[in-house]
Structure 1
Amino acid sequence: MLARSPRRPVQIFAAIFGVAAVIYSYRLGADALGASEAFSAWSAAKPGIGAIARTPILYEPGKFLFYYGALHYYTRIFGLSEVSLRSMSVVLSIATLALVFALGCEMFDDNTALAAAAIWAFNPLAVVFAHTARMYPMILTLAVAQLLMLWRIRRRPSASLAVLCGVAGAALLYTHMGGILFIGAALAMLVRDYIRGRRNPMPWIAMAVTLVLFVPYVPVLRAQSETMISGHWLDWIGTQYEYPLWIKVASVLGAAAVCAWFVFGASPELDRDDRLRWVAAWTILPGLVLAAGSIAIRPAFNLRYIAPSLATAALLIAAGVAQVSVKWRNLTAAGFALVCLIMLPFDRTRAQPWREIAAQVATEGGAADPVFFEAGFVSNDNAPNVPNGGFPFGFYSIPFDYYFKGANPRIAIPGFDSAAARTTIEERVSSAGGGWLVSWKEGDAINSELPDSKRFKTVEKYSSDRLAFYRITPAHK
């Protein structure tokens, strides 16, 4: 019987890599940009780094400078089309796939790495990230790269690689606040190493470089945190859950107990180098901490914020199943990849309507008809009407302006003051003879904002979750 070629896993990975690159690149410009993607385009189009830096500080707390800065220079070369904006995510996504394979080879073996790559490559979440002009593919790339370098210098000390690892960690923090969760997981496992007598200074140097490089941003982070608490929580987290105190305490203590086990628990004889524990910590701890915080403080859990954990979960599954059976590891990887490929044609997100909205404004009514946008942070349905300074021009004006270049006046109305918004709409529509409203509100919230039905005719042109589009005209027209 012929021996299996040691190059075979690499060759199969190359085939997976090629297929994934094609899938990630397919139909990049078919769907209109979503509102958040248009925000990326708007940020990247700023004239310089100073203006770009103010974008997340003022309008998007929790998201930092690095992604928008990189996208700025990328789009200066390739333009601001949907394909160009999303293609950077494609590049980052295929880089992440290569890093998952490299991490598997470094921590385990080529065949486990191949299985992990097969599990991750066609995962619907990986495909969605690749097709989205947002910072989440960059978070994936930087976090997995940092883990790979950290593991290498942990086993083979290198001062130059330690510095590079520290820079990658800082870049992760400068991309998204969620990077703190992965820096924390790494520090927890390095504490474990220290307790168990592994006193290699290079990983600690890497962590020090990360923290030193991020220190200049700490005052900005403090200001952003205040904005998140006082205003931006209206957007992506919403109001505090009314859990009983004992559930909050139990969730925090439970998360702390799991963290303590990862740091202080005994290692099995078959894994004295803690390979599985490291991958498990990176995969489990960020989501666990975020979930416990969501219960104890305010809801903040979203799979996007722990995207790197989803990639390392593929390696954890491959390595974990291999402990039981190599055959089952291979079958699991092949079966999962096949199911994902079968599901891909059906796994389509709802197309964004901004092209159609722009087309209707261009073809119906006149150029003098104002388009109204609610100023303020986009509110959760249950959030109170709290005055705030978020998006004074109206968040939805950003995707609208990406597709609509007409002269129609854009009017910002206070999203937190329905009475004032209604008055403005009625006055401007009466003067112009017609108008449009783009709203994030639903139900009673939007009804209190719409003009008097006896004096105005309101026609709903589009409605979905957190987006409604109305044509408003005087009743006599």
Structure 2
Amino acid sequence: MVTNNPSKQVSSQTAGSQLPKEKWLYQWLPLLSIVILATLLRFYQLGEESLWVDEFHSLRAAEELKLHFRVLYFAFLRVWMLFGTSDAWLRSLSVLFGIACIFVTYQLGYRLVGRSTGLLSAFVIAVSPLFIRHSQEVRFYMLSTFLTMVGTLALVYALEKLTIASVGGWIIARLLAIYATPINILLLLPDVILALFRFRHQRRVMIGVIASISALFLLFIPVFLNPEFLNAILQFMSKADVGGRRLGIPELIGQLPAATVFWPMQQLPKQQFWLYGFHGLTMLGLLGFLVFNKRRSSRLNWLAAWAFLPLVVLLFVSTTYGYLWSPRYILLATPYVIILLSAAFIQVWAWNRFVASAIALIYAVSLGGGLLHYYGEKNITDWRGAVQIINANEQTGDVITVPTGFINTYVLGRYYSGSNSIYVAEALSPYRRVEPETIQQGLAQLPIESRLWLLYVQPKGKNARDSEQAFQSVIDEQFTVQTHEVFSGYLDTIDLFLLIPNSVSKETAVDKLAFDPKLIKN
């Protein structure tokens, strides 16, 4: 081993041969270990849970592949589907981008702060249940995050030393990120501010910055002017909580544990509120320590700009127009917050190791609980499990009813293996308020001879309770419930009913073999 200790005699030939290897191990072995850990966590139980509604939307978008406002990921997915269509295979595309994010996180942390910060940031993202989740779903979030971070890294190089390669890399990465999801356009706000401030005394460079921004907008015009893009934006915003809502302190601070140790926060057990609330306050304290530390590097201000300027915009939109204060929407800023937290922890470690050890212990306990919950509980609605119950227990002549054509085409089309007739009852749609008469008319049109399998999506929103009561009143009046199974996820809940019309004789309707949901392996 090469050492500066003169008491240890090492020949120049030996030292020369060992130094490159030791340097390589020192620089890359910790990062490779983190990447291996991240890979294991992301492939573990990859196909265990069913696809959920948003993932089915991704499949539809990939099959149709129009000039959509998130077209880039769907183009990648369409090619990916040529080589396999299993749930695990489809999700593995996001795994690749999720792993790539760890490399870029390390590079950003290393470049802006230091090697220790880069490694710690990469580790936090590697084990974060939030990042694991989005790496395990057929959605665009990890591609989007990867591209935004690549664009930021390119801009860092440009701010350090302006070159055609760095500026070109920034333009291309930002453009692709916006094609991945338009919300990434918010990162142009800190980009422009930092570039104009950095080159404020160089007029020609400032003109170049303005020209680069203009080029970005010009390159995005083909999508922006497309009618389907505008319709998709309007449809997306129509599903938001229009009018906004006031955000409390818990909702603001809650994003810190959501980003680092626990997902989804909607499933956080009440008895653990204090632990994860304390973890959030600890993370907030780290950011405060960074703010008031006089030895703070000026480059941390760059990170703060990328972390908080987009969040300020999203916070304003969430409180005034539509609620977007969700971990998946603020993901564009989350990596920079994590790098700031890592930099703060390194500084606390240098200041007081006892305090740093206490923070690390809180983080470890919180993370352990978060990972146990993530891998041990059902986090999303088990559409596959519901359909498998039908597959195992249906009889010839049964009728299957779903509330929307989308569920018929993509959910049953993927998981249903039987041959009974499937009908769509739009009256049961979860996206509108319905009266009992409407539900009765919708069900009366079904040719039910003996048994009805009914998949019902519980409605949400201000009219949800009225619609639920209307549905339940019709079921109680016209049917006998033989089986009722509930499948809950963090965003939606579905009910699976096996119903027998009251007009049908139970002796001919009920099979002698009892229904046994244990036949299904969830």
Give the TM-score normalised by structure 2: 0.71
SS at match of 2:485: strand
Shift of 1:161: 3.4
Counterpart selection for 2:478 from 439, 455, 459 = 455
Counterparts in 2 of 1:436 and 1:452: CA distance versus 1, 3 Å: closer
Partner of 1:320: 344
Change (3 A) 1:333 1:241: closer
**Aligned residue for 1:53?**
66
Where do residues 96-135 of structure 1 align in structure 2 (5 Å cutoff)? Answer: 96-135=101-140
For residues 122 and 499 of structure 2, what CA distance do their matches in structure 1 show? 52
Q: Which secondary structure state, in structure 2, belongs to the residue aligned with residue 103 of structure 1? A: helix
Question: Whose relative contact order is higher, 1 or 2, with alpha carbons under 8 Å and at least 6 apart?
Answer: 1
Distance 1:308 1:157 in 2: 25
Distance in 2 separating the partners of 1:367 and 1:394: 24
**Alpha-carbon distance in structure 2 between the residues aligned to 1:431 and 1:417:** 29
Residue of structure 2 equivalent to 1:41: 59
Cα distance in structure 2, aligned partners of 1:412 and 1:163: 52
Distance 2:193 2:402 in 1: 46
Alignment of 1:58-457 (within 5 A): 64-77=70-83, 79-195=84-200, 200=205, 204=210, 206-220=212-226, 224-225=229-230, 228-229=233-234, 231-233=235-237, 235=239, 237-241=240-244, 274-323=298-347, 326=350, 338-339=364-365, 342-343=368-369, 344-348=371-375, 349-350=377-378, 352-366=381-395, 368-375=397-404, 393-395=405-407, 398-407=410-419, 408-414=421-427, 415=429, 416=432, 418=434, 419-430=437-448, 433-441=451-459, 443-449=465-471, 451=474, 453-457=476-480
- Shift of the 97–403 alpha-carbon distance from structure 1 to 2, 3 Å rule, reads same
CA contact (8 A) 1:439 1:467 kept: yes
Could you report, residue by residue, the CA deviation over 1:358-397 in whole angstroms, capped at 9, with x for unpaired residues?
A: 122223344554433334xxxxxxxxxxxxxxxxx24575
- TM-score where L is the length of structure 1: 0.77
Secondary structure at the residue paired with 2:378?
A: coil
Q: CA deviation at 1:41?
A: 3.0
Q: Deviation per CA, 1:126-178: give whole Å up to 9, x if none.
A: 22222222111111101111100111122122213322321211111111122
Using the TM superposition, give the Cα deviation of residue 95 of structure 1 relative to its aligned residue in structure 2, in angstroms. Answer: 0.3
Determine helix, strand or coil for the equivalent of 1:471: strand
**Residue equivalent to 1:467:** 494
> Hey, what does 1:248 align to over in structure 2?
none
Question: Which amino acid letter does the alignment assign opposite residue 158 of structure 1?
Answer: T
CA RMSD of aligned residues (A): 3.4
Contact 1:372 1:411 in 2 (8 A): yes
Gaps of 5+ in 2: 6-21, 248-292, 505-522
Alignment check: 8 A CA contact 2:401 2:452 kept: no
Output the CA distance in 1 between the equivalents of 2:193 and 2:399. 55
Cα shift at 1:10: 2.9
Quick one: which amino acid aligns to residue 142 of structure 1?
A: L
CA distance in 1, matches of 2:86, 2:105: 29
Question: Structure 1 residues 91-100 or 202-211, which shifts more?
Answer: 202-211
Name the SS for the 2:323 alignment partner: coil
Q: Report the counterpart of residue 265 of structure 2 in structure 1.
A: none
User: Residue 385 of structure 1 aligns with which residue?
Assistant: none
Aligned 8 A contact 2:242 2:321 in 1 = no
The CA distance in 2 between the partners of 1:198 and 1:151, in whole Å, is: 20
- Structure 1: which amino acid aligns with 2:426? I
- In 2, Cα distance between equivalents of 1:333 and 1:282: 25
SS of corresponding position for 2:337: helix
Q: Is the 8 A contact 2:116 2:346 kept in 1?
A: no
Q: Do the aligned partners of 1:166 and 1:208 also contact (CA within 8 Å) in 2?
A: no
**Equivalent residues, number:** 422
In structure 1, C-alpha distance between the alignment counterparts of 2:372 and 2:245, rounded to whole Å: 40
Larger radius of gyration: 2
Distance in 2, matches of 1:119 and 1:198, equals: 40
Letter of the 1:315 counterpart: I
Question: Secondary structure of the equivalent of 1:460?
Answer: strand
* Change in 2 beyond 3 A, CA 1:285/1:3: farther
Task: Name the SS of the counterpart of 1:461 in structure 2.
Answer: strand
Q: Which runs of 5+ in 1 are unaligned?
A: 58-62, 245-267, 376-392
- The 1:94–1:118 alpha-carbon spacing in structure 2 relative to 1, beyond 3 Å, is same
Letter in 1 for 2:54: S
Decide which of 8, 19, 32 is 2:50's aligned counterpart.
32
Quick one: distance in 1 between partners of 2:359 and 2:153?
A: 21
Q: Is the 8 A contact 2:102 2:125 kept in 1?
A: yes
